[in-house]
A = this chain, B = another copy of it.
Amino acid sequence: MTVKIGIIGLGYWGPNLVRNFAQATGGQLLAVSDLDEGRRNRIAAQYPTIQCFADAEALIHHTDLDAVVIATPINSHYDLAKKALLAGKHVLVEKPLATSAVEVRELMNLAAEKGLLLMVDHTFLYTGAVQKIKELVEQGEIGTLNYFDSTRINLGLFNPNWSVVWDLAVHDLSIFFYITGGKKPVSVSAVGQSHTAMGIEDLAYTTLFFEDGMMAHIASSWISPVKIRKTLIGGSKKMVIYDDVEPTEKIKIYDSGFTVRTPEEMHRWLVDYRFGDIFIPKLEQKEALSGVAHDFIHCIKTGGTPLSNAGLGLQVVAVMEAAQESIRNQGAPVKLSL
């Protein structure tokens, strides 16, 4: 069986999806759609056999298709995904899955009812770097997670409708939920600031609280003079730094830590520090988006759950919604029930 696929949206990310689905084993890219004629023509020139639609709904109702990939602006995700599910198609939606937890839950329920796959494209999960961190966490190399601290800042690409949380923190959140296997936050505190008249936050800091006391903190900015993409993951055994700006040495594993002496040993409280070796593992170099395409096709065929599944996408959206609410109240915590 070959999974027959259509892609909606040929803007910034769409052509990358086209290129990867056109080459993906087990799938066949039959159709694309975009309102813009120039975009359609560029794809048509490169892929003469692919059918091009101006209208997304025409693609959705294309009877030959098994699956639809949605790479349109955020606001349209829910509507298009719903239509595609109702039309009996498996659906892969560009991140974020939708604009609220309510929308995501409705889409998940609909997919479940129809026996269809609903997946979200959190591409970072398929990079060699994030795969390596997941492996380190799962194999217990890091120990108990003490903290997660991620900074993703640069200059540029203000989104006129959605804050920097929805544009940048979305990546850190997906990585966090992936490597922890969906560790559930109990509340969120966030602060943010807009430097334009539009009031869309271009700078934000989001904190997640967990039942065991752990914290995750995410700094996001469109107004930094330098590009930083650095995640610190502190464990009871080891600590990891994931620096995505590094061309190849993205992951550094520090055999460093601290131990608290027990009161019996000392009549006052003392901490011992340990500074050890550092290890920089070689990472897989394959294109992450190819992993997304193959996972989507594979899970359609097998009924399996993709790494970047809708449940993870729900956690990401729920946290971002809560963060926006907390930002309006200068960091007042917002309870979550996930």
Question: A-side interface residues toward B, CB under 8 Å?
Answer: 146-147, 149, 151, 155-156, 158, 160, 187, 189, 191-198, 203, 205, 207, 209, 213-215, 217, 219, 221, 223-226, 232, 234, 239, 241, 248-249, 254-258, 260, 268-271, 273, 275-282, 326, 329-333
Cβ contact within 8 Å between A280 and B282? no
Chain B residue numbers with a CB within 8 Å of A224 are 149, 232, 234, 239
Cβ contact within 8 Å between B275 and A155? yes
Chain B residue numbers with a CB within 8 Å of A271 are 158, 196
Closest to A238 in B: B225
Instruction: Please list the 10 inter-chain residue pairs (A to B) with the smallest Cβ-Cβ separation, ordered nearest first.
Output: A189-B331, A225-B254, A278-B280, A225-B239, A330-B333, A331-B331, A158-B271, A193-B215, A160-B269, A191-B207
Number of copies: 4
Given contacts A155-B258, A155-B273, contact A203 B225 (CB under 8 A): no
Chain B residue numbers with a CB within 8 Å of A260 are 196-197
Give the distance to chain B from A119, nearest Cβ to Cβ, in Å.
31
Give the distance to chain B from A254, nearest Cβ to Cβ, in Å.
4
Chain B residue numbers with a CB within 8 Å of A151 are 151
CA distance A192 to B149 in the complex (A): 12
Chain B residue numbers with a CB within 8 Å of A257 are 155
Chain B residue numbers with a CB within 8 Å of A156 are 258, 273
